Chains A and B, each alone.
Chain A
């Protein structure tokens, strides 16, 4: 086995060294422009994708070259069990990928740590092992595809990608990453056998091979459906999407400019409150502040990448970068590289570390303000336990408007206070409707004698491309000068307004209607790690009858398709029953995995 490892190492060693050199060169170049360890998740995510493509390419070159029968025989026909041959290939690939991916990153980090004053935390060192783990996952998926009877098996890579890449601490992340790596090793090792076309014999192996395939198909089906909708949109059609105006005489731009006022006005249309008509007349003249839940989650300590980007003190030419190890900001002169001090919760030189990782001038439960002149920090608002901010503060209407997972809050500055950084005074608060998801957006209008707050509730984040089918509704609340709130208007099942939503942090997750059990399974990490990331991403299932029908039809179609497919296979009765149950529960993704994994008998039999 050692010989085979050496042989495979010799085969790709120059390629690995060349890639390592290019990788190192690219990191050095990149570090001249940006602070590579402090890049955001989009940039570091892009780097991870490149690494994974490297892993996949190596698998296609290495294992793919053995697809030819004569080469396959040379590899497999030897007095070694296939598991050891596979282990030899995998270990040599690990060595090559370590050289090409891990070594340049490690050298880069060590050099940055020793030779510069850039912030470098322990999680950065752990992160590069995660990068290697994901690259290896890509290799395993590629190897699995090369030794499987169906090349579509490569999509198994999507399953660990979605299950393992969670916004949590890199230390906690080791659990799902190692689990997913082990899972892929298991799958790839069992597909590595002399007869690559033979069906999988053991039910347990089949189950563990089919499940990631189903997850991957679940994601693909939804993406394909979205691509289809986008294509139809390009052709000038907008099925399922709200059309704002089809009247050529309507000035859409003007309408869009006054959309907030129009939204509040429409919310008051059916109001029985006698003041509603007057408010509607005033609205075009009033300023409207818009709130939206633009923070899906706050960073946690030692998580991959950097959501809270460094901030600059332009006047003193200091870049403040948050260190997860010290839970303080480090000030650094980017020109000279000189460290200018550490910033705690009290400001410059404060020894008190942050309790949570800050981002956008706030933490999950605290809003603070920075006195640039005195280089000090002041706490403005602190939320009680169980409540967190879902959006950045909006400074408008002489107020600081905040949206949390439970309330809309309006604060005003304490004009009597000595310092302009004194804690804010709560002006009014509006509890969100219980049992509804966080509003898609809200509009706040200041009246002479109070406030109007319009909130749009909907579950359409799960219906990208089908917003008009979701049951959106609007509530308009009047808040008087004493802070007492009264519902003055409601519009149910509205189609006229929609706001497209950005989706989840890493990538959009497929909608539940493709397969409810797989949807739940994909969200399992979110449900499990509620204490590690905040807030959890899982959303309750929407209650739109059309989609329940659609799901039922897809399940039935899968069951019928599976029945006809299994009729011409050699699967035993128990296995047929397993497949049928799987197809009726998991829907279309299960049917596709069946087609990949269960070979049919030739038609001439």
Chain B
């Protein structure tokens, strides 16, 4: 499965039929203050059913705060938020049964064995899908008799994901689930996610800093910055908005203010790489007008695009030179 997921066709048990909202998550004018710091700023967000939605943002962008509000463990300072059509501040056990959550720390009861934990969860969720659990957990080679305390972080992530998906939730929130996993575990995790959602009606909210993961998984990209919604579209569309221009200048390039939409400038092997937002072919002419000896357009991947977008206001560009 790739980013070309099809939007799900309405099924018999669709939210619309149940008279619920068409959005799994809806927020309106959501504000959240921590003392004098604003974590969410008038966040209005509508996430539709049935796709993988990636939420990205720098640290402190408000992703975890948003999840805390959505899961009803924190109240917003103002605004409202609903999840599966229900007010987040008053989630009942019925709604919670429809929402899965896998966190970055994979906090599981370390005093139990895997089998004990799973049988506990199995009894808790009537719609438990044992086959699905086995399919996923097989990726991680975890045995039921193993103690949770003794398995690796990657294996714990696998068990956590397997339990989250086996609950057959309508909405599964994955909050940086691959954080701290090694390459092998990360790969197993992604494969497990991909294999499980192939023919499934679960909406997944995936929060990560790993753009390669998002590129593989996400149908929809949501960028948060300082608690505000900055962008929401399929990842391809976002990549199309960001373009890379490589130019050679006899000395220093022109000041960024003289060029429109510049997100980032880097100097690599004597050439200046301009990552720009919402610019067409005219940008090449502008480079020429500003003294470029030669220029051409390069390919941009999601990682570059998102990084450039998120670091556009930084005074020091990540790898290159100062815009001055």
Please determine whether B72 and A194 come into contact, CB atoms closer than 8 angstroms: yes
Contact A197 B97 (CB under 8 A): no
> Which of B13-21, B108-116, B220-228, B304-312 lies at the interface with chain A?
B108-116
Kindly identify which residue among B64, B75, B119, B120 contacts A195, using a CB–CB cutoff of 8 Å: B75
By a CB distance below 8 angstroms, the chain B residues around A76 are: 73
Assess whether A77 is in contact with B96, with CB atoms less than 8 Å apart.
yes
Q: Which residues of B contact A69 (CB under 8 A)?
A: 64, 68, 73
List residues of A (267-320) whose CB comes within 8 Å of B's CBs: none
Check A484 for interface membership: any CB of B closer than 8 A: no
Question: Is there a chain B Cβ closer than 8 Å to A68's Cβ?
Answer: yes
- CB of A4 within 8 A of CB of B107, answer no
> Given A197-B74, A602-B35, A74 and B108 touching (CB < 8 A)?
yes
Q: Which segment, of B87-95, B206-214, B241-249, faces chain A?
A: B87-95
Per the CB 8 Å criterion, the residue count for chain B at the interface is: 37
Q: Which of A71, A74, A197, A605 contacts B75 (CB 8 A)?
A: A197
With A77-B71, A79-B124: A11-B111 Cβ-Cβ less than 8 Å: yes
Complex interface: chain B residues within 8 A of A604 (CB): 33, 36, 38
Give the complex CA separation of A70 and B108 in angstroms: 9
Tell me, yes or no, whether A395 is within 8 Å of chain B by CB.
no
Given the complex of chains A and B, what is the CA–CA distance between A87 and B308 in angstroms?
51
Distance in angstroms between the alpha carbons of A98 and B53 in the assembled complex: 49
Interface residue? B123 (CB, 8 A)? yes
B103 CB contact (under 8 Å) in A4, A6, A73, A605: A73
A80 touching B93, Cβ below 8 Å: yes
Decide if A249 is an interface residue (CB 8 Å cutoff): no
Q: Interface residues of A, CB < 8 Å — how many?
A: 29
Q: Using Cβ atoms and an 8 Å threshold, which residues of chain A touch B38? A: 604
A398: interface (CB < 8 Å): no
Query: How many angstroms between the C-alpha atoms of A78 and B128 in the bound complex?
Result: 13
The answer to whether B75 and A198 touch across the interface, beta carbons within 8 angstroms, is: yes
The 8 Å CB contact of B112, one of A10, A73, A196, A602, is: A10
User: Quick one: which of B73, B92, B99, B117 contacts A196, CB cutoff 8 A?
Assistant: B73
B101 within 8 A of A: yes
Q: A236 near B: Cβ within 8 Å? A: no
Q: Determine the chain B residues whose CB is within 8 A of the CB of A68 once the complex forms.
A: 107
In whole angstroms, how far apart are the Cα atoms of A422 and B197 in the complex? 99
Shortest CB-to-CB span from A198 to chain B, Å, is 5
Say whether B107 contacts A194, CB under 8 Å: no
> When each residue 117-134 of chain B gets 1 if its CB lies under 8 Å from chain A and 0 otherwise, what string results?
101100111000000000
CB contact under 8 A between A10 and B111, given known A70-B104, A195-B72, A195-B74? yes
| B107 and A7 form a contact (CB under 8 A) | no
The reply to whether the CB of A3 lies closer than 8 angstroms to some CB of chain B is yes
B interface list, Cβ under 8 A from A? 33-36, 38, 64, 68, 71-75, 77, 89, 91-94, 96-97, 99, 101, 103-105, 107-109, 111-112, 116-117, 119-120, 123-125
- Give me the 5 closest cross-chain CB pairs, A-B, nearest first: A79-B97, A3-B120, A602-B33, A70-B107, A70-B105
A interface residues with partner B (beta carbon < 8 Å): 3-4, 6-7, 10-11, 68-74, 76-81, 194-198, 601-605
Known: A74-B103, A195-B75. 20 other contacts (CB 8 A): A6-B120, A10-B116, A69-B64, A69-B68, A69-B73, A72-B73, A73-B71, A73-B101, A73-B107, A76-B73, A77-B73, A78-B93, A79-B97, A79-B124, A81-B93, A195-B74, A197-B74, A197-B75, A602-B34, A602-B35
